[in-house]
Structure 1
Amino acid sequence: MMCIRDDSGTLRNGAQFSEERTRPNRNALCFNSTLYANARQMTANVSGTPRRLRPWYYPSLTVQIMIGLIVGGVIGWLRPEWGNAVYFLRDIFINLIKSIIAPLVFSTVVVGIAGAGALRKVGRMGIKALIYFEIVTTAALFIGLAVVNFTKPGVGVTLAPSNIDITKTIAQSHPRTLIETLVHVFPSSVIESMVHGDVLQIVVFAVLFAMAVSAIGEKGKPIIRAMESLSQVMFKFTNYVMMFAPFGVGAAMAHTIGTQGLRVLVNLGNLVLSLYLALIIFIVLIFGLVIFIVRAPLRQFVRAVREPAALAFATTSSESALPKAMQVMERIGVPKHIVGFVMPSGYSFNLDGSTLYLAMASVFVAQAAEATTGQHMGWDRQIMMMLALMITSKGVAAVPRASLVVLLATLNSFLPAGLGPIGVAVIFGVDELMDMGRTCVNLIGNCLATIVVARWEGEFDDERARVFGTTAEAELDLKSGDLAFADAVAQGD
């Protein structure tokens, strides 16, 4: 009989010792018997290829969201009055998502920086992120400028006075100056920042808080453990809220089609189509080039962003997709501290879709104004307008109707008095349809930014990316103790 000496030095029966040594690990990893049983089946098959855990007859969340979009669109088209009746479902979903953001972002940043000892990396990581943000948003501006000059959607559009009081719509807001933006990022009250959902202020406070936690050494360990638990709870809560996502996005689509229908595309269809053409070109050229340069795993990245991108598209809300996006980017191999820092910061400084939209919308109004003023805006003035947008488009995410605020302020500087508000009022009719596309691209851009910074820092986990979305991922999550992630994989998300 084979005997094995245990940790205390006592000789034990080999079979019994092996069984006793493995039992505690199994109990520690198995938060419920069903999930553990599933996880044990997550090994690779004979050929070594990981297998999917979700049964073929159980649709993924992406499929459920797409079904919700289609059903909602049909309801809004056939029964427009039903679109208004079910809109409250969209509001419930958005409110639930908003309740997740503050504790999730705060706990993720604190754990990522203080828990992982990444304090010295924050400054370097922030500089790299800002450099990438500026390069990509500048590319978005000039792609939008090129497409709008090629398709000329504003030619033939009349800038007639509108009944829409656009100044009331945007609440007399104005884009912040550089100094105002710098002052704004430092919160006077983190509670107020959480109430208003100001993600950038929450990130800044969380970074400073993490610095303080790291500075007190061992006494800060209980706080780190508490933040780790809070992060796991919020990711689990996100999984629960995502079950309601198909109903929320379906209600949002029913309302959009029911209230606006297709009639708004008759006069402004060229602008809408031009925007989506420009967004596709931007995704293929710029995002494709970035993915090639940083060697991002394309197939896994597409699989990771498809669900949060569908949420952002349907709800026209970046907030609705932020928790899910943070979760999947951690699962694909981006470290927690990079996800928690880069992605929320990107919602103020890396709005690729919104920046491209601003370039197109401003030139569209200038083209339409030419029939009224007889003045053609040449390339020199268009480039000057793009340079102005490079500054005014930064740090306005917290302003209501942020894109319209920036657009109106820019047009007032480059067009004769009175034409700016009229031009914005014309665009306002299709703004929600265009908002769907630009919000989706904003989300994809910020997800990609986390991979760029992670690769730049040499911290991207290629092994985790390789097994993302497969049954082997949940086995890895169980071993590392990421129960919320393992549960998400087990559900096929």
Structure 2
Amino acid sequence: MVERGTSPERAGLPGRLMTAVRQLYVQVLVAIVLAIVVGLAWPGFGANLKPLGDAFISILKVLIGPIIFFTVVQGLAQISNLSKLGRVVLKAFVYFEVVSTLALLIGLVVGNVLEPGAGLHASGEVTDQIAGYEQAAEESGGIVHFLQDLIPDTFFSAFTEGEILQILILSLVFGVAALLLNEKVPTVMRLVAEGQQVFFKMLGFVMRLAPFGAFGAMCYTVSTYGSATLLSLFEFVLMVYATALVFVLVVLGGICALCGLSIFKVLRLIRDELVLVLGTSSSEVALPRLLAKLERAGCEKSVVGLVIPAGYSFNMDGTAIYMSMSVLFISHATDTPLSLGQQLGVLVVLLFTSKGGAGVSGLGFVKLSATLQSVKVLPIGGLGVLIGVDRFMSEVRSLTNLVGNTVATLAIAKWEKSFDAAKFHAYYANPVLDDPEPEEVSAAKV
């Protein structure tokens, strides 16, 4: 019998189980486990479930553009002066470059010490599949093409095409204009605030489908690549995951410690988003919830709105680790040793090729192809060794990128004195967004 005043959720094991089941990360984890079983037992059926994962990601992408726009504009409108805007942008990009460069260096050091791929004597032959990646890399263009792509064809094309950087630039221009006009456009800003609330309410509805999306995506992965692929190149996969884990705990953990926070508390705070990314291999699916969650966890809206969207293209720590280690893996596997000077040359190229395109599963492989084409010191056919396990590398890239951008936002908010530690600890103790109910998932009131 439940005592008076005792919550049913706390009335023994059944109540605790029901409470756990309502948590999004638990639902997604269960879906992933079931997907692995289905994918291995009935691979033909599992491969046909790919549309479930694709549909979930597509629905979320519909919401990402407007949510970024409303969040950035509303945050900028609350900044009292443009000097603060300049400080936040400068600090963000200095942080991005320093930490992502450190991630590249760590990947190179680990690759040189542990020598992944040594003894494989792999062929450098360019297969049809490799040629496809090579063509995709060529079409992605260089730095000039990248800068040109920052300019949308029309105001709305950035939203229809889902280009995060273009949306961010439009949001910055619109937000700065609103800041300069100040109180002359109260109706517009009220619409922005209300629009943000509407889209977060829609997000709450969509997140109910997260377990189905993760189930479909993981079923396809396991069914397509099978148990043999899960075991092939296991050593290198484990090496990349271990390096990423060390980077998160030591480097990002050290940054958190400097800010007076625990990396373990940060990881627990975003556990829903981490599990969601694990199931879908796309960090983009976590972006809308992450914007709202960090704001509720004590970061000022203006900092969140600037750092998170920009970080999704310029602060890709997981991609940096993967690419630097993969370059050395191909070097060892194809018996093509790289001198220190050549490795430093590769590092310079990686500083550019590792940026942009976050959230797109498999794009890291195209970027790796672009890197090999740029340095021309390794056989591009060596990519064939990594094709079988790249799908599983996509997860570690996305997970590390997500943690890196979360820590970057907390750090920059702290250094900008735009972080409320008391609010963080209060939210950590009672994370409202951990409950996927749409009533709970809404934008902060203005």
Q: Deviations over 1:27-77 (max 9, x none)?
A: xxxxxxxxxxxxxx99xxxxxxxxx99964643111111111111111111
Residue by residue over 1:452-491, the C-alpha shift from the partner in whole angstroms, topping out at 9 and shown as x without a partner, is: 11001101011211111445x76xx9xxxxxx997249xx
Q: In the alignment, is residue 140 of structure 1 matched against residue 103 of structure 2?
A: yes
Question: What letter matches 1:268 in structure 2?
Answer: L
Question: Contact conserved, 1:339 with 1:450, CA < 8 A, in 2?
Answer: yes
1:76 aligns to 2:59 (yes or no): no
Supply the distance in 2 between the matched residues of 1:213 and 1:273 (Cα, whole angstroms).
49
In 1, distance between residues paired with 2:423 and 2:26? 24
The aligned residue for residue 66 of structure 2 is: 103
Specify the SS of the correspondent of 1:429.
Answer: helix
Paired residues for 1:277-288 under 5 Å = 277-288=242-253
Q: Max radius of gyration: which structure?
A: 1
Percent of residue pairs bearing the same amino acid type: 32
Shift of 1:134: 0.8
Judged with a 3 Å threshold, the aligned counterparts in structure 2 of structure 1 residues 213 and 416 are, in CA distance, closer, same or farther, namely: closer
Q: CA deviation at 1:441?
A: 0.7
Select which of 165, 182, 185 maps to 2:129: 165
* Secondary structure of the structure 2 residue equivalent to 1:296: coil
* 2:351 aligned with 1:390: yes
Contact 2:362 2:390 in 1 (8 A): no
Deviating more after overlay: 398-407 vs 443-452: 398-407
* Matching of residues 130-279 of structure 1 within 5 Å: 130-157=93-120, 158-159=122-123, 161=125, 163-169=127-133, 171-174=135-138, 176-279=141-244
Distance apart, 1:242 and its partner CA: 1.1
TM-score, structure 2 length as denominator?
Answer: 0.88
The structure 1 residue matched to 2:337, chosen from 369, 373, 376, is 376
User: In the alignment, is residue 87 of structure 1 matched against residue 50 of structure 2?
Assistant: yes
- 8 Å contact kept, 1:75–1:254: yes
Partners of 1:437 and 1:368 in 2: CA distance: 21
The residue number in structure 1 matching 2:23 is 60
CA contact (8 A) 1:72 1:250 kept: yes
* Equivalent position amino acid for 1:125 in 2: V
1:138: Cα distance to partner?
A: 0.9
User: In structure 2, what is the Cα distance between the partners aligned to 1:440 and 1:431?
Assistant: 14
> Cα 1:101–1:463, aligned 2, differ >3 Å: closer, same or farther?
same
Answer with 169-178 or 194-203: which moved more. 169-178
CA positional deviation for 1:356? 0.6
CA contact (8 A) 1:393 1:406 kept: yes
Change over 3 Å in CA distance of 1:180–1:161 after alignment to 2:
closer
Question: Which of 292, 298, 301 is the matching residue for 1:336?
Answer: 301
Match of 1:450 in 2: 409
Contact 1:170–1:401, Cα closer than 8 Å, also in 2: no
* Residues 1:154 and 1:297: Cα distance change in structure 2 (over 3 Å): closer
Cα offset for 1:184? 2.9
Aligned-residue RMSD, C-alpha: 2.8
Which amino acid is the alignment partner of residue 28 of structure 2? I
Task: Say if 2:370 is the partner of 1:367.
Answer: no
TM-score normalised to structure 1 length: 0.80
Q: Deviations over 1:160-209 (max 9, x none)?
A: 53644323246433355444433432333221111111111111111111
Q: Deviations over 1:368-420 (max 9, x none)?
A: 221xxxx5223332222112211232235498853223322322344557x21
The partner residue of 2:372 within 386, 392, 411 is 411
**2:359–2:398: 8 Å Cα contact kept in structure 1?**
no
Within 2, Cα distance between the matches of 1:93 and 1:196? 17
| Unmatched 5+ stretches in structure 2 | 1-5, 8-14
